[in-house]
């Protein structure tokens, strides 16, 4: 878990600014609240994960950030700009990757990126260098002249990411970029995102599978049916939710006990007490420390 602490460290000397701010965001479709009273603050340089099952409101939140959807209530700011009031400013500062990646059947990889370089009004003279750099970043240099629709899913995903980076945005909003990728492609994606974070970008990423985000996010928010359930570092979330840790204790002789504890301190206290009581503890394991389990527990009952 120390790696996570590294990730959340803000660059020295820079003030901690908010790259994305969501205040009491509500989006209603008729009677359905897709998002309800959502508050989020994403500091600059963070990799921020939005986690929730299908229908939790992740994509809806991202569409509002991407200046595509007007909120029913509340407001958001991306790099200091309001997407409703100043969508152009938001679009200049934001790279958005939707949860689906469409491709043009008749374009080559470099032409695809050239097209978006034009769409972001970048000077034509800058295109060749820009596209070289992007292709290298997403490791598609060898596919430069391949047709877009001939790429594998993972490659398309990386091309889509390159597309979102064409105008060198401060903030990246990626809607379930890892879904449908094989484990190898997932690892590559994760490395790429860390690299982008190191380049000074803020990454907001969503997933319904926790394992995908757990290791790279400095902070995660858990969303369920449009509501925020918990937010914080993946580590602190367990504490916030209280009673979420289950400790399995095996005693000499084979007896197994299960204890539910609130925080790490409780966990220490439990072990001290067991030892003080003279119990022959041979194994003391936190059985549900992973975010995946936490998530399952957090969302249990709300889904049904």
Partner 1 sequence: MRLGGRPRNPVLAREIKERLRTRRTTIVVTVYLAVLALILQVVYSGMSGAQDAFGDSLATQSARLGRSLFETLLFFMLVLVCFIVPGGTADAVSGERERQTLVPLQVSLLSPRSILAGKLLSSVAFVFLLVLATLPLLGVSFVLGGVSVGDLVRGVAAVLTTGLVLACLALACSSLARRTQGAMILAYGLTLFLALGTAMVYGAQQVLDDTGRRPSTAVLTLNPFFAAADATGRAGVDGFFGGFATSSPFDPLRLVLVPEDQRFLGGFEEDFPGRPMPMPVDGGPVEFFDEGRGVVVGVLPDGRPLRPEDAGGGIPFWARSAAVLGFTAGAAFLLATRRLRTPSNRAAVG
Ligand X SMILES: Nc1ncnc2c1ncn2[C@@H]1O[C@H](COP(=O)(O)OP(=O)(O)O)[C@@H](O)[C@H]1O
Applying CB under 8 A, does 91 fall inside the site for partner 1?
A: yes
Applying CB under 6 A, does 299 fall inside the site for ligand X?
A: no
CB of 271 to ligand X, least distance (A): 38
Applying CB under 8 A, does 295 fall inside the site for partner 1?
A: no
Per-residue mark of binding to partner 1, 107-136 (x: CB under 8 A): x---x---xx-xxxx---------------
CB of 228 to partner 1, least distance (A): 21
Structure tokens at 40: 């989020």
Which residues lie closer than 8 Å to 233 by C-beta, 6 or more apart? 4, 8, 218, 219, 220
How many residues of this chain interact with ligand X, rule: CB under 6 A?
11
Annotate 107-152 with DSSP letters as a single string: -BHHHHHHHHHHHTT--GGGHHHHHHHHHHHTT-GGGTTSBGGGS-
For strand 227-232 and strand 256-261, is the pairing parallel, antiparallel, or unpaired?
unpaired
What length does the chain have?
304
Closer CB to Mg ion, 99 or 264, in the complex: 99
Q: How far apart are CA 189 and CA 45, in angstroms?
A: 17
Q: How far apart are CA 86 and CA 80, in angstroms?
A: 10
Closer CB to ligand X, 36 or 143, in the complex: 36
Q: Which residue has the tokens 């394992």?
A: 211
Q: Which residues in 167-226 contact ligand X (CB under 6 A)?
A: none
Q: Which residue has the tokens 């949860």?
A: 99
CB of 118 to partner 1, least distance (A): 3
Which residues lie closer than 8 Å to 65 by C-beta, 6 or more apart? 20, 22, 76, 78, 83, 90, 94, 96, 173, 204
Closer CB to ligand X, 138 or 172, in the complex: 172
> Cα angle at 165 between 162 and 167, to 5 degrees?
130
73 φ/ψ sector (left φ>0, alpha ψ -120 to 50, else beta): beta
Which residues lie closer than 8 Å to 70 by C-beta, 6 or more apart? 64, 84
Cβ(7)–Cβ(193) below 8 Å: no
Using CB distances below 5 to 8 A depending on partner kind, what does residue 32 bind out of partner 1, ligand X, Mg ion, none?
Answer: ligand X
Out of 20, 35, 40, 69, the residue judged to bind partner 1 by CB under 8 A: 69
Closer CB to Mg ion, 54 or 304, in the complex: 54
Closer CB to ligand X, 140 or 205, in the complex: 205
CB of 54 to Mg ion, least distance (A): 7
Applying CB under 8 A, does 100 fall inside the site for partner 1?
A: yes
CB of 296 to partner 1, least distance (A): 29
End-to-end CA distance of the chain: 32
Per-residue mark of binding to ligand X, 35-74 (x: CB under 6 A): -----------------x-xxxxxxx--------------
Which residues here bind partner 1, judged by CB under 8 A? 29, 63-64, 66-70, 83-84, 87-88, 91-92, 94, 96, 98, 100-107, 111, 115-116, 118-121, 163, 167
What residue ranges bind ligand X (CB under 6 A)?
A: 29, 32, 34, 52, 54-60
């Amino acid at each position: 878990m120390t790696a996570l602490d590294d990730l959340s460290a803000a660059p020295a000397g820079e003030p901690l600014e908010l790259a994305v701010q969501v205040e009491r965001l509500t989006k209603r479709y008729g009677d359905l609240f897709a998002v309800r009273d959502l508050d989020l603050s994403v500091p600059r340089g963070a990799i921020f994960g939005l986690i929730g099952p299908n229908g939790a409101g992740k994509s809806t939140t991202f569409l509002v950030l991407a200046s595509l959807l007007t909120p029913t209530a509340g407001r958001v700011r991306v790099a200091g700009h309001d997407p409703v009031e100043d969508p152009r400013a938001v679009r200049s500062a934001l790279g958005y990757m939707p949860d689906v990646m469409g491709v043009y059947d008749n374009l080559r990889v470099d032409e695809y990126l050239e097209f978006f370089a034009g769409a972001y009004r970048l000077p034509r003279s800058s295109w060749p260098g820009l596209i070289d750099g992007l292709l290298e970043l997403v490791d598609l240099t060898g596919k430069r002249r391949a047709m877009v629709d001939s790429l594998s899913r993972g490659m398309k995903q990386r091309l889509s990411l390159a597309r979102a980076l064409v105008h060198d945005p401060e903030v990246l909003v990626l809607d379930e970029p890892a879904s449908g990728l094989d484990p190898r492609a997932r690892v590559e994606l994760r490395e790429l995102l860390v690299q982008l974070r190191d380049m000074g970008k803020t990454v907001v990423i969503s997933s319904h599978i926790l394992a995908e985000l757990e290791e790279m996010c400095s902070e995660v928010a858990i969303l369920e049916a449009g509501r925020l359930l918990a937010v914080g570092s993946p580590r602190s979330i367990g504490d916030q939710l209280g009673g979420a840790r289950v400790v399995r204790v095996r005693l000499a002789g084979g007896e197994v006990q299960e204890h539910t504890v609130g925080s790490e301190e409780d966990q220490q206290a439990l072990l001290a007490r067991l030892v003080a009581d003279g119990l022959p503890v041979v194994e003391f394991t936190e059985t549900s420390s992973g975010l995946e389990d936490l998530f399952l527990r957090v969302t249990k009952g709300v889904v049904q």
